[in-house]
Amino acid sequence: MTDAAEKGNVPFSRELPLFASVLAFYVFLIFFLPSGVARIGQTLKDLFEQPDQWRLENATDVISLGVHLAWAVAAFLVPAMLLFIVFGLGSSLAQNMPSMVLERVRPQISRVSPMKGFGRIYSVPGFVEFGKSLFKILVVSLIMYFALRGEFFASLDAMFSDPQVILVKLDTIVRKMVIVVVLSTALLAVIDVLWTRRHWYNELKMTKQEIKDEYKQAQGDPIVKSRQKSVARDRARRRMINNVPRATLVIANPTHYAVALRYVREENDAPVVVAKGQDLIALKIRETAEANGIPVFEDPPLARSMFAQVSVDSVIPPVFYKAVAELVHRVYASRSLKKRTH
């Protein structure tokens, strides 16, 4: 959702600003229109009943009269403009906070493509927009018809009465019409807000492929990670094989397991596993040990146990002390014998 919001993809109902505009007009009609009409009427009354106050002898007089009338009209329209601005901004801010998104104004071929245009028109959002327009025309008209049906004959009678009565009757009818429109647009705005957010959430739901792609971005490509692990294992094996010439002895199962141990009394209190391997790695350890004159002892149970329980660069546990001590003693005894022989 955060990524969508950063790209300007946020839920926005077009009906809520429309409702706000109608509500602003209703507020203007109730609180500002009567006093505004009275002020304009008084201005026109002074103009026509006392024309001697306004001389029209030159262009300056005409401009002065025009400015006076313009101020009167402005005093009448400014409250309406402010109401529309405040209510419109409020309806937008109530849905989403403003943000600068250059992606929304970036030129895109899809915006002028006829095929994309038909796709937008004949899609689910397009049919929803058509349904909302149909609601505005039919439902609002029907509600207004039933609301104003009783005023028809009263309006005809008012046409033959005093002009002030006509204005009062017209004001009543207009207020009823606006109330009907306000209630209808309010209902439509609530429905549209709920549908817009539901549709937005559904559009943000990822497909299985998108979930896989996001997992790859978060965890890394499995193929690349597998390759990295393989390279790391190869390096560890080479490093381990390079340690075999430093070993004191090798314990092996004839073909399946091999464990190379190093024991130097000045370095450690117990032998340390410098290399271990299985199958091909075990054969490589044996070959390297034999090439460097390191004794290889075949003890399948001991080789399997040490391979399973001791990791590389670790001291062997006490359970293996006795068996390994015998082998180490044999190695040192063999070396002593060779020295005496030479």
For the CA atoms of 303, 309, 310, 316, the dihedral, rounded to the nearest 10 degrees, stands at: -80
Mean pLDDT value across residues 53-81: 81
SS3 221: coil
Mean pLDDT value across residues 262-272: 84
Start-end of H helices in the chain: 2-6, 15-27, 33-49, 59-95, 114-121, 124-134, 140-148, 152-158, 163-204, 208-219, 222-243, 280-291, 300-309, 321-341
- The residues, any chain, with a CB within 8 Å of residue 283's CB and separated by 6 or more, are 255, 258
pLDDT tens for each residue of 232-241: 778 878 888 8
Per-residue pLDDT for 248 more than 90?
no
Half-sphere exposure of 249 (CA within 13 A, CB side): 24
CA–CA separation, 259 and 206 (whole Å): 51
Q: What is the pLDDT of residue 81?
A: 92
Per-residue pLDDT for 317 more than 90?
no
Q: What is the pLDDT of residue 86?
A: 93
Per-residue pLDDT for 143 more than 90?
no
pLDDT tens for each residue of 25-48: 889 888 888 888 778 778 777 777
**In sequence order, what are the beta bridge partners of 275?**
260
Mean pLDDT value across residues 129-151: 71
Least confident of 95-104, 136-145, 188-197, 258-267: 95-104
Please give the radius of gyration of the chain, using alpha carbons only, rounded to the nearest integer: 46
Q: What is the pLDDT of residue 36?
A: 83
C-alpha to C-alpha distances, 320 to 152, 278, 294, 315, 324, nearest whole angstrom: 109, 20, 20, 10, 6
The residue with greater pLDDT, 96 or 285, is 285
- The residues, any chain, with a CB within 8 Å of residue 163's CB and separated by 6 or more, are none
SS3 148: helix
pLDDT tens for each residue of 180-215: 888 888 888 888 888 888 877 777 776 666 667 666
273 contacts 240 by C-beta, under 8 angstroms:
no
- As a whole-number percent, the residues of the chain with pLDDT over 90 amount to 3
Residue 305 token pair? 């146990």
Mean pLDDT value across residues 53-59: 72
What backbone torsions phi and psi does residue 161 show, to the nearest 5 degrees? Answer: -110, -170
- The residues, any chain, with a CB within 8 Å of residue 98's CB and separated by 6 or more, are 92
Per-residue pLDDT for 177 more than 60?
yes
Q: What is the pLDDT of residue 82?
A: 93
Least confident of 34-38, 285-289, 292-296: 34-38
CA–CA separation, 18 and 92 (whole Å): 11
Sheet with 272-278: strands ordered across: 272-278, 257-262, 249-252, 296-298
Q: How do 296-298 and 249-252 pair as beta strands? A: parallel
CA–CA separation, 62 and 102 (whole Å): 49
